A and B are shown apart, each in its own frame.
Chain A
Amino acid sequence: MNYLVIVIGAILVNNIVLMQFLGICPFLGVSKKVSTGIGMTGAVAFVMILATIVTYLIQHYILDKFGLGFLQTIAFILIIASLVQMVEIILKKVSPPLYQALGIFLPLITTNCAILGVAILTIQKEFNLTESVIFAISHAIGFGLALILFSGIREHLDLQDVPKGLKGTPIALIAAGILAMAFMGFSGLV
């Protein structure tokens, strides 16, 4: 039951992009086509889950143990940066087709605040390891849901006759606002 609350809360109620404003850069940057949206979601999900597990272990077995809590931000961002680099190298060797699909998105992920945000949130909420992993997976799904919905909307927006000043980013932001309004309807669920 507890797990279900985490899943629904993360995907629908507190959607990471539309409600918590994490990962807006890729949300606006790579949402012009549904296919790139799917690629980005895959890369983010992969790194997010991996990063949450590693940062969880580092926080509990190294930082807490030696009283180094104040180094959290520095330690986490270094872990994420090196993790992204490592994933990139391994993927290139092991699975070239997957690397082809995710490759261009991987370097962008280091500065994706969704990854660091979820890693810090799991520590703040004092989850155990299983809960953290579920939390990360559901946030990744939530990110993917928002991104894919939004890129679908943007593909349609390209074909519409948008007023002059609103073309491009402004209309995309307004569409995102309306999407966020739709997601507010879920707010009573949990």
Chain B
Amino acid sequence: MSQLKNFSKGFIKENPVFVLLLGMCPTLGVTSSAINGLGMGLATTFVLLMSNIVVSLVKKGIPDKVRIPAFIVIIATFVTVVELTMQAYLPSLFKSLGLFIPLIVVNCLVLGRAEAFASKNNVLSSMVDGLGMGLGFTFALVTLGGIREVLGSGKFFDLTIYPENYVTLVFVLSPGAFIVLGYLIAALNLIKKND
């Protein structure tokens, strides 16, 4: 597989959220606005990229039986790095993402890529895979966050689009997350079938 294909598969064809349904908790939990989705997506991308690189570098040294705990420790290390960096430099984003930053550890997407891809491929492909999947995840989160923000608070990246009197508040609350994601996946299914 060419590196370009490897990189671009994360966006539509194997999009972690819309197609593989991985990492649903942060997807639904933090996407009340586009900016939160972007922050969460980039944080996850960083963890995914770094853990993919490290896992593919050390894969020969890890006995098969303890590979999952070993992967989890590697991932947890990078999550701690993100957590502390964000707390220091982006305190407001850190506050709005809250619990979901430490929970990147248990995002099935990160562990899934380490197990399914990085533990079998070389460093370069793993890097490209991590970056592509991470950005695909970010793309999905920003799309979902953008739609919810426009419908639920009349804004897009904090720019007012229409007055607050006309918003449908339910879209920024928890039911909106499920419903918007449901219709997004349905729309993608229909587009794919028509191809």
Contact = CB atoms under 8 A, between A and B. Distances in A.
B73 A170 contact: no
Interface string B162-193: 00000000100111111101110111011001
Contacts of A81: 68-69, 72
Contacts of B72: 77-78, 81, 110
Interface stretch (A17-25, A35-43, A45-53, A92-100): A17-25
A96 B11 CA distance: 45
A177 B25 contact: no
A74 B77 contact: yes
B177 A177 contact: yes
Given A25-B25, A113-B25, A177 B102 contact: no
Given A166-B186, A173-B179, A19 B174 contact: yes
Contact of A180 (B102, B103, B174, B190): B174
Given A73-B102, A181-B170, A165 B186 contact: yes
Given A78-B72, A165-B187, A177 B182 contact: yes
Q: Is the interface of B mostly helix, strand, loop or mixed?
A: helix
Given A81-B69, A169-B185, A180-B178, A117 B99 contact: yes
A23 B26 CA distance: 10
Given A113-B25, A121-B99, A177-B176, A170 B108 contact: no
B62 interface: no
Contacts of B26: 21
A168 to B, nearest CB: 8
A28 interface: yes
B148 to A, nearest CB: 12
Identify the 9 closest CB pairs spanning chains A and B, nearest first.
A177-B178, A173-B182, A21-B29, A177-B179, A170-B186, A165-B190, A174-B182, A24-B24, A180-B175
Interface of B: 21, 24-26, 28-29, 68-69, 72-73, 76-77, 79-80, 83-84, 99, 102-103, 105-108, 111, 170, 173-179, 181-183, 185-187, 189-190, 193
Interface of A: 18-25, 28, 70-74, 77-78, 81-82, 110-113, 116-117, 120-121, 124, 164-167, 169-174, 176-178, 180-181, 184
29 contacts: A18-B174, A21-B29, A22-B25, A22-B99, A22-B103, A24-B25, A24-B28, A25-B24, A25-B25, A70-B80, A73-B80, A73-B83, A81-B69, A81-B72, A110-B72, A111-B106, A111-B111, A113-B107, A116-B102, A165-B186, A165-B187, A166-B186, A169-B21, A176-B178, A177-B175, A178-B175, A180-B174, A181-B170, A181-B175
Given A176-B178, A177-B176, 13 more contacts: A24-B25, A24-B28, A73-B105, A74-B73, A78-B72, A78-B73, A113-B103, A117-B103, A121-B99, A170-B182, A171-B182, A174-B182, A178-B179
